Amino acid sequence: MSNPARTDQTALRSTLHRRGMRMTPQRQLVLDAVREMDHATPEQVCRRIQHTAPTVNITTVYRALDLLEELGLVRHTHLGHGAPTYSVEEHEHVHLVCHRCGGIDEVPCEMLDGLARSLDEQRGFALDASHLALSGTCRDCRETDAGTADPPATADGKEPT
């Protein structure tokens, strides 16, 4: 079985070489941090890297992320307010963001095929769901809410006895 990190490192090195660039330790650290953290902001990536390489600064991280995205190795997504998050470009997916707990889940873009067809047929709009984040309430938060919900009031506004 091959080591995915080693394969990524080799692929990144050869891609950079073809473009006349070189592999730097900082670029590798950024890619490794994004892979390990999944859905991390540039600031989170920088903090992670600074545990082992304290001289790496946020500007270096942003530049590396821009290059890695240009090379198709990472992708950014806006999951709401604030900085974009980065993840390794392994498969196209839609992000489900819980507005209660902040949890992030992924589902295949194909789950939106019906919506994509409707938008195309009715509006002539071609949906690119790969950068999409949907906001809602996750199962765990909904179950917690259901367990703590107040009992419904009666017609006269009083709680049932």
pLDDT at 156 over 80: no
Based on the fold, state whether residues 55 and 115 are members of the same structural domain: no
| Alpha carbon distance 115, 105 (integer Å) | 19
Percent of the chain at pLDDT above 90?
40
Q: Give the domain range for residue 143.
A: 91-148
- Tell me the binding residues: 98, 101, 138, 141
- What tokens appear for 71 in the block? 């090379």
Mean per-residue pLDDT for 79-107?
A: 83
Boundary residue ending a domain (40, 68, 89): 89
Convert the pLDDT of each residue in 21-43 to its tens digit. 888 999 999 999 999 997 899 99
Same domain, 18 and 58: yes
How far is 6 from 9, CA to CA, in rounded Å? Answer: 5
Per-residue pLDDT band for 149 (boundaries 50, 70, 90) equals low
Q: Judge if pTM exceeds 0.75.
A: no
- The annotated binding site for Zn(2+) is made up of 98, 101, 138, 141
